[in-house]
């Protein structure tokens, strides 16, 4: 019998679950802890939204254990997978792990790490982070980091780049974390592999005047001429005080904000030129600032162009914008004020309308996991709180999360629970975000019991792969342990069920059992949380 509090999207499933009642299947192995670390920077079963603390040896116990067991090459392969397949919510832990592997005592591990450098560190910021991690790990030791292997790996990083791509990269990201390209090229003793790379190397280490002297009278190859012309444009814009000239150079050569001077960014016309080719993710982040500075004004052609881009299916697909990213940006813009500083703006109705349209269109970017989900919302307390670090209310966040799974996964049940029982909740895949939010906030509050969705599935013979519990409560009261309820469901259904507890306003409270790899706590909520859930559902962490 279907409860009134569920939305069954499909009863079909391609899943053939194995019986799990036993213990060892759910033990948290070193490999599982490593994957958690590479995903979000902690070996614990808790993901904290927007937490960007620097990792250290003390927080990488499983990584160290695997290295001691001679499994360094396996660690490097996992680092490559997490950085290349988009599994990592935070990339810092991967650079740290690669740096640790690169100076391990085992030769095979070091060789694997250096070989993977270009695949893992895809842009200069990544490379600088890797180098800084190596320096930090050598702190207090007499030997330096610049041995033959590192010099060769860094040289290869530069030499194996496409020349034009490298020219763009070194002029966009010149330095980071105390390191510059000049430092790396000098310390690695890089011998350029071809004339175009030699040109870029000379530009970085000697400057534009030296380049002009060296290449003005030479017979240059087509590639060198192309790079030379690009670098000339970059130098020209750096020394230009003519607004019209700067705008023309930006539009003609697709220059980016990082290649301009601070004074250039005081010009409205320069910003309008930059907006035309700016990555959509960046546009969404600065809409408030652009409105505040009158760069985007009501009814202007620039505002219309931005609106058209925001809701363009082609642009959304190319940038792979997630609905939750649109929601966060939209609610922040609607707020009319930045989190820090005094920046304020009057939200433009046409921009808000475009973002609303973009939100629904962006669902096309969601790739189904193909698992059986139950998404249950705790409505025992008011959902009027704000998710920490965002402008999104817990009611809107919960509605958006249920919509994401209801629209992307064909086998999803949406439940709500309060007063010790499941309560009517008619959220469906074809609802708007506003309609789904209204459904949640109209349900009366009461006491809470987060085991109810699991008990419902067990008693009604619903085999579930992932239970996602969304609650506004920082602390939970249970009539029974969610861990025990999950184990009973596994035993009765034969499913390899997992449980994700999401404390939407939590800043550290958890209920997960660290000895069960199928349990995970999420404190707060952000786009990364959805990636973490996806990884858990696919047995990647």
How high is the mean pLDDT of the chain? 87
Q: What pLDDT does 511 receive?
A: 59
Q: What pLDDT does 432 receive?
A: 87
For residue 478, pLDDT beyond 70? no
Helix, strand, coil percent values for the chain (each to nearest 5): 50, 10, 40
For residue 436, what is the enclosing H or E element?
helix 433-441
Q: What pLDDT does 361 receive?
A: 96
Token pair for residue 360?
A: 């629904």
Q: What pLDDT does 435 receive?
A: 84
Q: What pLDDT does 89 receive?
A: 92
224-228, 384-388, 493-497: least confidently modelled range: 384-388
Distance CA 220, CA 351 (A): 48
For residue 448, pLDDT beyond 80? no
For residue 351, pLDDT beyond 90? yes
End-to-end CA distance of the chain: 34
Does the pTM surpass 0.85? The reply is yes
Q: What pLDDT does 389 receive?
A: 83
Confidence of residue 140 (pLDDT cuts 50, 70, 90): low
For residue 494, pLDDT beyond 70? yes
For residue 2, pLDDT beyond 50? no
Q: What pLDDT does 10 receive?
A: 37
Distance CA 407, CA 431 (A): 10
Instruction: Please tell me what DSSP assigns to residue 156.
Output: H
For residue 261, pLDDT beyond 60? yes
Q: What pLDDT does 40 receive?
A: 92
Distance CA 366, CA 345 (A): 32
Q: What pLDDT does 258 receive?
A: 93
Q: What pLDDT does 58 receive?
A: 86
Confidence of residue 209 (pLDDT cuts 50, 70, 90): very high
7-16, 36-45, 313-322: least confidently modelled range: 7-16
Please state, in angstroms and as integers, the Cα–Cα distance from residue 19 to each residue in 320, 482, 488, 494, 497, following that order. Answer: 37, 19, 12, 4, 10
Contact 232, 212 (CB under 8 A): no
Confidence of residue 24 (pLDDT cuts 50, 70, 90): low
Q: What pLDDT does 509 receive?
A: 55
121: helix, strand or coil:
coil
The label of the residue with tokens 């642009």 reads: 315
Token pair for residue 191?
A: 């011998």
Q: What pLDDT does 473 receive?
A: 66
Q: What pLDDT does 430 receive?
A: 83
Q: What pLDDT does 251 receive?
A: 93
Confidence of residue 218 (pLDDT cuts 50, 70, 90): confident
For residue 6, pLDDT beyond 50? no
């Amino acid at each position: 019998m279907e409860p009134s509090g569920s939305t069954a999207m499909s009863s079909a499933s391609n899943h053939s679950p194995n019986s799990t009642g036993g213990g060892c299947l759910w033990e948290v192995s070193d490999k599982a802890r490593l994957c958690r670390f590479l995903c979000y920077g902690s070996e614990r079963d808790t993901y904290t939204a927007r937490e960007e603390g620097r990792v250290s040896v003390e927080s990488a116990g499983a990584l160290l254990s695997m290295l001691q067991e001679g499994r360094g090459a396996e660690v490097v392969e996992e680092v490559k997978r997490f950085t290349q397949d988009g599994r990592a919510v935070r990339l810092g832990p991967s650079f740290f792990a690669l740096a640790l592997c690169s100076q391990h005592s085992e030769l095979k591990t070091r060789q694997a790490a250096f070989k993977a450098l270009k695949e893992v560190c895809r842009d200069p910021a990544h490379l600088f982070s890797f180098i800084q991690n190596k320096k930090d790990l050598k702190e207090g030791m007499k030997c330096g980091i610049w041995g033959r292997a590192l010099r060769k790996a860094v040289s290869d990083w530069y030499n194996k780049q496409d020349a034009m791509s490298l020219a763009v990269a070194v002029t966009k990201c010149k330095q980071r974390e105390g390191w510059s390209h000049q430092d790396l090229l000098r310390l690695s003793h890089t011998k350029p592999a071809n004339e175009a790379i030699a040109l870029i190397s000379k530009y970085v280490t000697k400057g534009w005047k030296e380049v002009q002297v060296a290449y003005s009278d030479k017979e240059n190859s087509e590639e060198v001429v192309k790079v030379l012309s690009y670098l000339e444009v970059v130098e020209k814009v750096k020394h230009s005080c003519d607004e019209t000239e700067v705008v023309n150079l930006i539009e003609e050569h697709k220059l980016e904000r990082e290649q301009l001077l601070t004074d250039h960014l005081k010009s409205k016309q320069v910003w309008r030129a930059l907006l035309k080719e700016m990555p959509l993710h960046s546009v969404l982040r600065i809409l408030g600032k652009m409105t505040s500075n009158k760069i985007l004004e009501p009814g202007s052609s620039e505002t219309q162009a931005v609106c058209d881009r925001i809701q363009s299916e082609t642009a959304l697909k190319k940038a792979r914008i997630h609905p939750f990213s649109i929601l966060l940006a939209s609610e922040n813009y609607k707020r009319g004020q930045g989190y820090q500083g005094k920046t304020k703006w009057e939200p433009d109705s046409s921009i808000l309308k475009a973002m609303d349209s973009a939100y629904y269109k962006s669902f096309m970017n969601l790739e189904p996991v193909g698992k059986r989900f139950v998404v249950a919302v705790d409505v025992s307390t008011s959902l009027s709180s704000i998710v920490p670090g965002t402008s999104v209310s817990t009611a809107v966040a919960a509605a958006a999360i249920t919509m994401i799974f209801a629209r992307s996964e064909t086998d999803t049940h949406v439940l709500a629970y309060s007063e010790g029982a499941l309560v009517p909740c008619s959220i469906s895949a074809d609802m708007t975000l506003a309609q789904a939010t209204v459904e949640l906030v109209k349900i009366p509050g009461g006491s809470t019991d987060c085991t109810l969705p699991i008990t419902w599935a067990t008693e009604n013979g619903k085999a579930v792969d992932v239970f996602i519990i969304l609650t506004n409560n920082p602390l939970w009261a249970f009539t029974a342990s969610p861990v025990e309820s999950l184990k009973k469901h596994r035993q009765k259904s034969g499913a390899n069920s997992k449980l994700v507890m999401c404390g939407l306003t939590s800043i550290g409270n958890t209920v997960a059992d660290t000895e069960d790899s199928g349990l995970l706590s999420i404190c707060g909520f952000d786009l990364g949380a959805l990636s973490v859930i996806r990884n858990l559902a696919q047995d990647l962490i």
